Amino acid sequence: MDYLSRPLVLLLLCGLLVSSLWLVPHVRAEVLINEVLGDPDQDWDGDGEVNYKSDEWIEVKNDGDSVEDLSEYWVRDGSGEDPHLQLSGALEPGETAVFYGSDAMIWQQEQGQSTLGFSINNSGETLELLRTESDFSGTALIVVHQVILLDHEVENDRSSGWDPDTGQWIMFDALNPYNGAFEPQGNNCLPSPGELNICTPLVPVFGLTWDQLKSRYR
């Protein structure tokens, strides 16, 4: 190749690159943190024990209009750089998935890390959802969604999440009603791990034990 044709080839390659980028649809993360319970007081993961680490849970939702591969997503708390869990599975549009502290502990063990679970601080926490992004310089984890939990949200069996009707961040406090003045306020609805955040009130049913009642709302 002579000196004259080399810049021409470069120009052509650049043109091809720009036009191919132009044709690629804009990609943005559609998965979000939908609901969180950070101070468990019951056996949420169903392993027969109540544990402050393994029964914490984080629910994610696919808010987009195409199937999302969850293995591209990771969660971590606000205190460090390292993710606590690489998610797994796939989500159809509108679907939710829940991951328990026990899932995080298994993953951490597989990675040779300390089994800290999600480490959701009961006095308040920032949780981040990250996504694997690749470009010419390599692969990085980019924060795509963040939620902030205040002290009163992280109390025995209270969860916080997005209200599908109002779009507001709200507290699902039917199991531990909140009467204080801080936002978010409670809505007297039950936490809904793995389900859409549709309000189910706690209705006492005569003749059922407390455990039977709770299991109705899993």
Asked if 165 is part of the footprint of Ca ion (rule: CB under 5 A), the reply reads no
For Ca ion, which residue of 12, 14, 47, 148 counts as binding (CB under 5 A)? 47
Which residue, 39 or 173, has its beta carbon nearer to Ca ion? 39
Question: Are the C-beta atoms of 118 and 104 separated by less than 8 Å?
Answer: yes
113 is an interface residue for Ca ion by CB under 5 A: no
CB of 125 to Ca ion, least distance (A): 8
CB of 137 to Ca ion, least distance (A): 36
Identity of the amino acid at 84: H
Sequence-distant contacts of 198-201: CB under 8 A, at least 24 apart: 198/164, 200/174, 201/174
Contact 99, 106 (CB under 8 A): no
Residue 86 binds Ca ion (CB under 5 A): no
Contact residue for Ca ion among 70, 91, 154, 190 (CB under 5 A): 154
Considering the rule CB under 5 A, would residue 190 count as an interface residue with Ca ion? Answer: no
Helix, strand, coil percentages, rounded to 5, for the chain: 20, 30, 50
Contact (CB, 8 A) for 96 and 34: yes
Cβ proximity to Ca ion: between 117 and 141 the closer is: 117
Contact residues: Ca ion, CB under 5 A: 35, 38-39, 43, 45, 47, 49, 55, 59, 120, 122, 151, 154-155, 192, 197
